Every structure is written in structure tokens, then in C-alpha cells.
A and B are shown apart, each in its own frame.
Chain A
Amino acid sequence: MSTRPLIAVLSLLVLLPMVGALQGCRQARGARDAQGRCVPTPGQVRLSVPSLPNTLDWSRSREQSAGNYPVIQAMMRGLTRLEPGTHAPVPDLAERWEVTPDEAGRPVYRFHLREGLRWSDGVHPLRARDFVMGWKRALLGYEPAALLDLEGAAEVLAAREDLDAPAEVREARIVAALEGLGVREVSPRVLEVRLAGPRSHFLSRLATSYVFYPVPSFDLLDRSEQEIQRYFDEPDGQRPHVLGRFRVTSYDRVAQVLRMEANPHWEGAPAGVERLVLVQAELAQLLYGQCKLDFLFLDDLRALPSVPPEERHRAELLSVYWLGMNTRTLSLPLRKAIGAALEPKALTGALIPDVRVARTLLPPELPGGVAPGAPGTEGFPRFDPERARHWVAQAPDAERTLTLLVRGGGTFLPELSLADGVRRQLAAIGLRVEVVATSSFAADIRAPDGRIRHDLFLRRTGADYAHPQTFFTLFAPGGTHFTEWHLLEEGRAIRRFQTALEAIAEQETEQARTLAATRAQTMLLDTHAVAVPLFFPDRYFQRRSHVQGLSVDPFNFLTFRTLRLEGADP
């Protein structure tokens, strides 16, 4: 037997992956032109996102759903949309609306749908009943709280929560309560919505909360609930029908790839984008370097210097990063001392470029927000070591070692380093802090008895809609503020806060809303010293220059609204 052939075969086998690697190396350089720039694939944009949707069923979406928004908002639209810059709600699916108080003084909205709007099958027009069906389904879904502004929604929720009732009784109660929900079709193009009370944030909410989006009821009526869920979650190229700019053609959950194509019946300009490919990749930067991606988030701030300036972009978010204080374990003087000891600029300086330091809880550019130093904000926390030491001297509990809970990863902020900075700044006024990193923040912050067991924590809170309410929900009764401040003064403090929130909801004018919101902020930041705002985070991203208008909205979601490819007809 000659051994040569065998050795040859073996060598070939071992060489095979090398050939593959060479092929990979060739690919690694990607499709480039003579100047070494990536050659775009016509009509296609490939992006890396931190997470893909957990459902495409916008009425039944889950709360932990950061990945849902960009996709659903590319597919769908609401009655209103927010005007860029001012964040004021303007008509979208509704061309106009009027508000009239009912006999009890509660607002009743009549939305007139725009004419000529058709679902992506090109046949069926949008009708008011599409909203009725969507909102009723949403109330039985995972985010019913968002619909509590509607009259009768509280009754549906109460029936849902009555787990002790026999199943049939509970079902019947839910069905009966849904009948009384304050939304109905007046005519195919007129939708009537009755609210439970004055809600100045309602129109803003319609723009961004997808539970308020309509559903293609003509396609869903004959389906069971399980079939409806499958209708949304297993897109087949045609369905689910949409009203937005793109529809989903396939969603491969194993490969974590979601593909979209332009909605052929979208009334706006196509702007040259025919296909979107969304992938979730951990080493996205490498893929971008390979010309395999056109967009990625720059969540690792260390990467910023190596990104060419013309491809580096920054989005200012309606979002605040803050230090929460446990009001049960920390005395008021100590909380005030902590507020005066922190210098956000120094905390973030080396880590985050051009940081926007926060002196208020609400971002100033949010409708209802207030500029730092404006009347009413005098008592808000600001760096003053003298005062901090003065407060420490009065605090009976300054000798304790405090624990500071922080996320160990998974956010776009360098939280561990920030926590370490807080520890050092508090050490400067003689406070001892132990930083505790966690991978499951919400679970770790509570003791088995349900009480908050850490003294301090770092948290980012983002707006879901452009209104103070979105930040204050957190600190209202039932909110996940984790500060135990609902126990202060036997609950009187938080009840006063609730009253203050109702006052914001009742204000008709922007100016009056700002005043009311400033009063509410004062309760949190000054009177009870519950939180210390640190900074308003920005989101950095990188995109190829031919991909224009692809951006991150103030709610921290990727938005395709203004996306267009270079060279496309304007």
C-alpha cells in the first residue's frame, strides 16, 4: 500500500479549513472600492441592534421590550406622532380631533382618521374598529397599565386581577367590563375615546406607546387568540399587515435575524430603501469593519476615538441617570449630604465625552421640564462639599457602611466605573460605601420580605412618551422607585405626590404644567431627598455615510422614520 494518497487526503482535510479561513479573510476585507470604502448593497441596510423583538404582536407586547419598539414603530403608526424638536403631538393616522367634556367633566376625544389610509394588502382601509379591537386586546395583554387612562379600563383590570374568583365568573366579569371600555367606533372613520379623567399626557402617549396602535381587524376576526398570536409572530412576507413604512418578511429567532421590506402601499417616498436586515451580534464592531453592517450602537465608549468622525453620531435622549436612596435606611440629613457630595461632571468626565450633567430629574427639553437654576429649583442637589460635611455632622447614621447596588453589565453606560466613582466621592466626605454588582437588578434589590435592602442604587430612567408623567410614574404608588419613600410619613408624602401628579394632568397650558411638574420634582429632590440626578445620557452610534437619516430617537429607540439612501430621489 502506498501511503502517499492517504497522507495527501489527510493533509487536504486539514488544509480545508485554512482555505475557508483565507476565504474568510477575503470576506473580512469585505466588498470595497478602490479607496477602500465599503461598497453598499443597493436598496439594503444591515444593522446590529442590542436586542430583537420578543414579539411582533404590538397589542400583546411584554414590558421588557426594548427590542420591540424600533421594529414595531417601523411597521406601525399611531393616531398622533411627535414633532421632532418640540416633542409636541401632531396628527398622524388621525387628521384632526376634538375634545369635549362629558356630563361629569371628563374629556371625550373624537379622532377623525385620515382618508385613503390602507393596510399593506392595498385593499382594506383603516377603520375605527381596528383601534377598538387592538385596545381591547391590549388590555388583556402584558402592558394593560398603559391603557388605564381610558374610562372603564380600571374595571377590566380589577376583574383580571381577581384571581380568587372562579374562572367562569372572572371571564364573564372581564367580558362585561370590556363592553364598558371608553372606546367605540362612531363611523368607519371616526373613533370616540372617553378618558377616566383629565390626562394631559394622553395625546403624547398615543404617538409612542404601541399598545394604542390599531390592528388589521378584518384579518383577525375569524381567528382564535392563539392563531392571532401566531399571525403576528410568524410573519410570512404578507402578514401581519401594517400601516408603516416597512413590513416584516421573516424573523429567524435561532439565528437572531429579522428581515423587513418596504411596504408597497406606503404613501410616503420610498427613499431607496427596499430591505432592512436586523441582526443581534456581540462583536458588531468587527462586522462593521468587515463591511457587513451599515449601522451599530457604540455602547462601548472606549471605541469612540477609533471611529471616523463623519460616521460617529450622538443622540440626546429624554432620559436621566440617577442615584436612588433608600429612605427607610438612610436619615434625611445623610441623604442631603450625599446629594451635596456628588459631582456628576467629575464622576463621568473620564468615561463619557461631552456629558450633559443633570441638575433636575426631568430633562429640561422635555415638555414640562425645567432649566437648571430656574425658580423653584434652588433646593435641588448640587455639589457643595461644605454643606455635605455640615449635613454629615447632623446625620446619626454616617458611620455605617452603605451598600450601592449597580448593574454588572448589559447597559450602554459604564455603570461599574460610575459606581466606583460614587464610592470615591462619598469617601471624600467620610462615608464608606460598598459597591455590589448584580446581573439581575430588580431581583437583587429586594430582601425576601419585599423590602429594599440596599442603601443606594444607580439607575437610568427613560421617557416612554414626551410628558413628565412618564418619569413620575416610577415614584407614584405602585411604581418601582425602590426608595421606600411610600413609607415616609405613613404614606402621606407619596399621597401628596399623587395629588401633585393629578394637578399636572389637569393643566391645560405648557407653562402651568411646567410649574406643577417642578413642584413634584421638588418633593423628590429637595423635601424628601429621594434621588440625586447625575446626568442625561446620550447614545452614540456609527453609520455609513450613504445611510442617511437613520437615527436614535429621544426615547432611545432606533428610528427609520427619516432613513434614506444616498442617491435616492428625495
Chain B
Amino acid sequence: MSPVATRALKGALIIPLTALLSWVLVAALPLRTEGEAKTETLRSLQAQLEADLGLGQPLGFLRPWEKLLAGERLGDGGRSYTGAELMRALLGSLRIGALALLLSLAGGLLYAWALSRTAGRWVAVGLRSLPPLIYALPTFVVALWVARSTGLAVDDTEAWQYEPIAAAVLALGPAAFVGAVLAGALEEEARRPYLLAARARGLSREQAWWRHALPNAARAVLDALPPLATSLLAGSFVVEKLFHLPYFGYLYLDAAQHRQLALVVVATTLFAALLVSVSLGTDLLRSWWDPRTAAAEDAR
């Protein structure tokens, strides 16, 4: 079996494991239904809710999935969702995450390029001190500040307009990270003899930078790509909440805040599946870009 397939299989194992684990956790806890009502909850209602969650039944952990497949709603009332709605929300978060990834790579590349072209000493010092400063700004602070001036989406019809802004806010920190890593790797490359040889053979500084230094330095970024991509997906929780984008992060925070057991179980599992596939996707990208390093890592 190819190493990538092995890794895919290992990764895929996480999904049922998450499903089972999260449900067992939920099932191990007694269900409390008493709310703000003026009279105590009826026993029959309690029993009904438990049956709905599959609590106390053999193979009860499949119950939420069963409901999902049957097109029924998961969760309680207004915060209940069908499988199709969950997928729609997941897709929204994925869109923001992907755009943010693209933006952070582009931003990082621009930064590294700008740094390599800078002649003035003080400009370079200024540029170099940018990433740590950006890194020290939590995403939610930036998002709040931006939302102050751009406003936020009022409903689903406006959400798409705010996706690029949200992605840019989300990408700011990772772009600084990519930029710093890339700039560091480029500086190291610049000292290598092959680059001097290439310049000696008549390549312009620009050409040498783009054709030789950058592809080699990009490896450092590729290594960091899987955790970067997954952290962007999770980071979308914050921007979705602040820009009022009704996607997965928004839904997830809401479900956790309102103790929607079945929903949290299903959503966690779906999210784990998404993370595994994204991480696998970036892995594949890496082995396509740089087969040697990837193979060496698999052999380890």
C-alpha cells in the first residue's frame, strides 16, 4: 500500500473513533431537562427526550446518525438542523478557511518578496518586527476592530459579502507566520553556493530568487501547511461569530453553549472528518510539490 494511502487510512480511523468517544461521553451523563419552567418536568417528557438521544439503548450512539440520514432534525427546536443544513454550514466554513489559506500564503509571499527587495536598513528592521507584532494581536481583537468600520452581515443574503473580509482578518496572523518562515528560509538559501553559481551563470537576482531560492525555501512553509490549514478552519469560529456569518463555527459555538448533545456529537465528528481530509489534502499537495522530503518522512 502506498504511504499516502496508509496515512489516509490511519487518519480516517479518527472519524468513527471521535463519533463513538463523544457519544459515550454524552451517554455517561444523566440528562437534565429542568429549565425555566414554573412547574417540574414530567417523567414522560424526560423519557421521550432520552429515547430521542438514544440514551440507554443498545447501539444508541447510532441514533443521531440514524436521524440525520432519515432527514430528521437534530437538536432542540430552533437550534435543530438537518444533515443538508449542516453540510451547507460546513461548506461555508470551508470556503472561509480556504480563502484565508490562499490569502495567508499570498500575503506571506509578498512579505518575503518585499523583504528581499528592501535595501534600507531601517525599513528592513521595521518589516522584520511586523510578524511578531501581528502575532501578538488575537484574531478576535482584529475582527472587532474591523467589524467596527465595515459592519457585519445582518442575514444570510448578506453573508457572502463579508466572507472575504472575515477571511482576511483570519489570514492576518498566519500570513505573518508564513512570511516570517519564508523569509528565514530564503535568507538561509541565499547563503548557499548553488545560488551564487546560478547568479554567476548570468541569472538575474530576480530570476534566481523565483526559480531557485523560492521553490527550495517553500518547503519550510509546506511542512507547516497541514496544521496551518486546520488552525484556519478552527479560527473561522471567531470570525464567523463576530461577522455574524451563519456557518459551522457559529453553529458549533451555539450548540456547545446551549448543551445540544446530539448536535455536538455529530458536529464534532463531521468537523474531525473535515480536518482529517484537509490535513490529508495538504499532505498530498506536499508530496506532489516535493516528493523527496515526503518520501523521507514516510520512511522514518
- What is A's interface to B at a CB cutoff of 8 Å? 1, 3, 6-7, 10-11, 13-14, 16-18, 20-21, 23-25, 27-28, 46, 51-55, 62-65, 67, 142, 144-145, 157, 160-161, 163, 233, 252-257, 277, 279, 281-283, 286-287, 289-290, 292-293, 440-443, 461, 464, 470, 473-474, 478-480
Q: Is the CB of A253 within 8 A of B147?
A: no
Q: How far is the CB of A352 from chain B (nearest CB, A)?
A: 21
Known: A10-B110, A64-B37, A442-B35. A161 touches B44 (CB 8 A): yes
Q: Is the CB of B106 within 8 A of A14?
A: yes
Q: Is the CB of A442 within 8 A of B36?
A: yes
**Residue B224, interface by CB 8 Å:** no
Q: Which of A18, A255, A470 contacts B156 (CB 8 A)?
A: A255
**What are the nearest 9 A-B pairs in CB distance?**
A54-B77, A24-B150, A17-B168, A28-B151, A255-B156, A255-B246, A292-B154, A20-B164, A63-B37
Query: Given the complex, which residues of B lie within 8 Å of A281, measured CB to CB?
Result: 152, 154, 244
Q: A1-B207, A20-B162, A46-B154 are in contact. List 8 more A-B contacts (CB 8 A).
A: A17-B103, A27-B150, A54-B79, A145-B42, A290-B152, A479-B38, A480-B34, A480-B40
Q: Which of B45, B102, B211 contacts A142 (CB 8 A)?
A: B45
Q: Which of B107, B155, B161 contacts A20 (CB 8 A)?
A: B161
Known: A1-B210, A17-B168, A233-B73. A277 touches B107 (CB 8 A): no
Q: How far is the CB of B151 from chain A (nearest CB, A)?
A: 3
**Residue B189, interface by CB 8 Å:** no
Question: In the bound complex, how far is the Cα of B120 from the Cα of A567, in angstroms?
Answer: 65
Q: Is the CB of B78 within 8 A of A443?
A: no
Question: In the bound complex, how far is the Cα of B277 from the Cα of A335, in angstroms?
Answer: 61
Question: In the bound complex, how far is the Cα of B76 from the Cα of A53, in angstroms?
Answer: 10
Q: Is the CB of B39 within 8 A of A479?
A: yes
**Residue B65, interface by CB 8 Å:** no
A-B contact pairs, 19 of them (CB 8 A): A3-B210, A17-B167, A17-B168, A18-B168, A21-B149, A21-B165, A54-B76, A65-B77, A145-B39, A157-B42, A161-B44, A254-B85, A257-B246, A281-B154, A287-B244, A290-B152, A440-B259, A442-B35, A474-B38
Q: How far is the CB of A444 from chain B (nearest CB, A)?
A: 10
Closest to A226 in B: B72
Query: Given the complex, which residues of A lie within 8 Å of B44, measured CB to CB?
Result: 160-161, 163
Question: In the bound complex, how far is the Cα of B157 from the Cα of A257, in angstroms?
Answer: 10
**Residue B280, interface by CB 8 Å:** no
Residues of B73-105 contacting chain A, CB below 8 A: 73, 76-81, 85, 88-89, 102-103
Q: Is the CB of A25 within 8 A of B150?
A: yes
Q: Is the CB of B37 within 8 A of A161?
A: no
**Residue B201, interface by CB 8 Å:** no
Query: Given the complex, which residues of B lie within 8 Å of A20, measured CB to CB?
Result: 161-162, 164-165, 168
Closest to B80 in A: A253
Give the interface centre of B35, B38, B109 by most chain A CB atoms within 10 Å.
B38
Query: Given the complex, which residues of A lie within 8 Å of B39, measured CB to CB?
Result: 145, 473, 478-480
- What is B's interface to A at a CB cutoff of 8 Å? 32, 34-40, 42-45, 47, 73, 76-81, 85, 88-89, 102-103, 106-107, 109-110, 113, 146-152, 154-156, 158-159, 161-162, 164-165, 167-168, 206-207, 210-211, 241-242, 244, 246-247, 251, 259
Closest to A61 in B: B77
Question: In the bound complex, how far is the Cα of B109 from the Cα of A479, in angstroms?
Answer: 65
Known: A52-B78, A286-B151. A27 touches B103 (CB 8 A): no
Q: How far is the CB of A155 from chain B (nearest CB, A)?
A: 14
Please classify the interface of chain B as helix (H, G, I), strand (E, B), loop, or mixed, using the class held by over half of its residues.
helix
Question: In the bound complex, how far is the Cα of B209 from the Cα of A7, in angstroms?
Answer: 13
Q: Is the CB of B34 within 8 A of A442?
A: yes
Known: A7-B110, A21-B165. A253 touches B85 (CB 8 A): yes
Query: Given the complex, which residues of A lie within 8 Å of B148, measured CB to CB?
Result: 286
Question: In the bound complex, how far is the Cα of B156 from the Cα of A277, in angstroms?
Answer: 11
Question: In the bound complex, how far is the Cα of B35 from the Cα of A257, in angstroms?
Answer: 25
Q: Is the CB of B161 within 8 A of A480?
A: no
Q: Is the CB of B156 within 8 A of A252?
A: yes
Give the interface centre of A3, A24, A144 by most chain B CB atoms within 10 Å.
A24
Q: Is the CB of A287 within 8 A of B152?
A: yes
Query: Given the complex, which residues of A lie within 8 Å of B247, measured CB to CB?
Result: 254
Q: How far is the CB of A18 from chain B (nearest CB, A)?
A: 7
Q: Is the CB of A286 within 8 A of B152?
A: yes
Question: In the bound complex, how far is the Cα of B51 from the Cα of A446, in angstroms?
Answer: 24
Question: In the bound complex, how far is the Cα of B241 from the Cα of A163, in angstroms?
Answer: 43
Give the interface centre of A25, A63, A67 by most chain B CB atoms within 10 Å.
A63
Q: Is the CB of B81 within 8 A of A24?
A: no
Q: How far is the CB of B96 from chain A (nearest CB, A)?
A: 11
Q: Which of B42, B103, B113 contacts A13 (CB 8 A)?
A: B103
Q: Is the CB of B38 within 8 A of A473?
A: yes
Q: Is the CB of A287 within 8 A of B154?
A: yes
Known: A7-B113, A27-B161. A1 touches B45 (CB 8 A): no
Question: In the bound complex, how far is the Cα of B251 from the Cα of A196, in angstroms?
Answer: 45
Q: Is the CB of B77 within 8 A of A17?
A: no
Question: In the bound complex, how far is the Cα of B247 from the Cα of A53, in angstroms?
Answer: 19
Question: In the bound complex, how far is the Cα of B284 from the Cα of A211, in angstroms?
Answer: 57
Q: Is the CB of B89 within 8 A of A254?
A: yes
Q: Is the CB of A67 within 8 A of B154?
A: no
Q: Is the CB of A13 within 8 A of B73?
A: no
Q: Which of B78, B155, B244 contacts A53 (CB 8 A)?
A: B78
Q: How far is the CB of A537 from chain B (nearest CB, A)?
A: 15
Q: How far is the CB of A466 from chain B (nearest CB, A)?
A: 15
Question: In the bound complex, how far is the Cα of B73 from the Cα of A233, in angstroms?
Answer: 10
Q: Is the CB of B103 within 8 A of A28?
A: no
Q: How far is the CB of B164 from chain A (nearest CB, A)?
A: 4
Q: Which of B35, B81, B106, B241 contacts A254 (CB 8 A)?
A: B81
Known: A28-B149, A54-B78, A254-B251. A283 touches B38 (CB 8 A): no
Query: Given the complex, which residues of B lie within 8 Å of A289, measured CB to CB?
Result: 151
Q: Which of A11, A18, A63, A464 contacts B35 (CB 8 A)?
A: A63
Question: In the bound complex, how far is the Cα of B89 from the Cα of A10, in angstroms?
Answer: 29
Question: In the bound complex, how far is the Cα of B107 from the Cα of A478, in angstroms?
Answer: 63
Query: Given the complex, which residues of B lie within 8 Å of A6, measured CB to CB?
Result: 210
Query: Given the complex, which residues of B lie within 8 Å of A46, measured CB to CB?
Result: 154
Q: Is the CB of A24 within 8 A of B165?
A: yes
Question: In the bound complex, how far is the Cα of B37 from the Cα of A461, in angstroms?
Answer: 10
Q: How far is the CB of B252 from chain A (nearest CB, A)?
A: 12
Query: Given the complex, which residues of B lie within 8 Å of A292, measured CB to CB?
Result: 151, 154, 158
Q: How far is the CB of A494 from chain B (nearest CB, A)?
A: 14
Q: How far is the CB of B276 from chain A (nearest CB, A)?
A: 23
Q: How far is the CB of B256 from chain A (nearest CB, A)?
A: 11
Q: Is the CB of A255 within 8 A of B159?
A: yes
Query: Given the complex, which residues of A lie within 8 Å of B150, measured CB to CB?
Result: 21, 24-25, 27-28
Query: Given the complex, which residues of A lie within 8 Å of B77, measured CB to CB?
Result: 53-55, 62, 65
Known: A257-B156, A442-B34. A21 touches B168 (CB 8 A): yes
Known: A1-B207, A17-B103, A254-B88. A287 touches B36 (CB 8 A): no
Query: Given the complex, which residues of A lie within 8 Å of B40, measured CB to CB?
Result: 478-480
Question: In the bound complex, how far is the Cα of B109 from the Cα of A6, in angstroms?
Answer: 11
Q: Is the CB of A16 within 8 A of B161?
A: no
Query: Given the complex, which residues of B lie within 8 Å of A442, measured CB to CB?
Result: 32, 34-36
Q: Which of B42, B47, B151, B164 contacts A27 (CB 8 A)?
A: B151
Closest to A444 in B: B32
Query: Given the complex, which residues of A lie within 8 Å of B151, measured CB to CB?
Result: 24-25, 27-28, 286-287, 289-290, 292
Question: In the bound complex, how far is the Cα of B110 from the Cα of A16, in angstroms?
Answer: 14
Q: Is the CB of B246 within 8 A of A254?
A: yes
Q: Which of B110, B146, B168, B246 contacts A11 (CB 8 A)?
A: B110
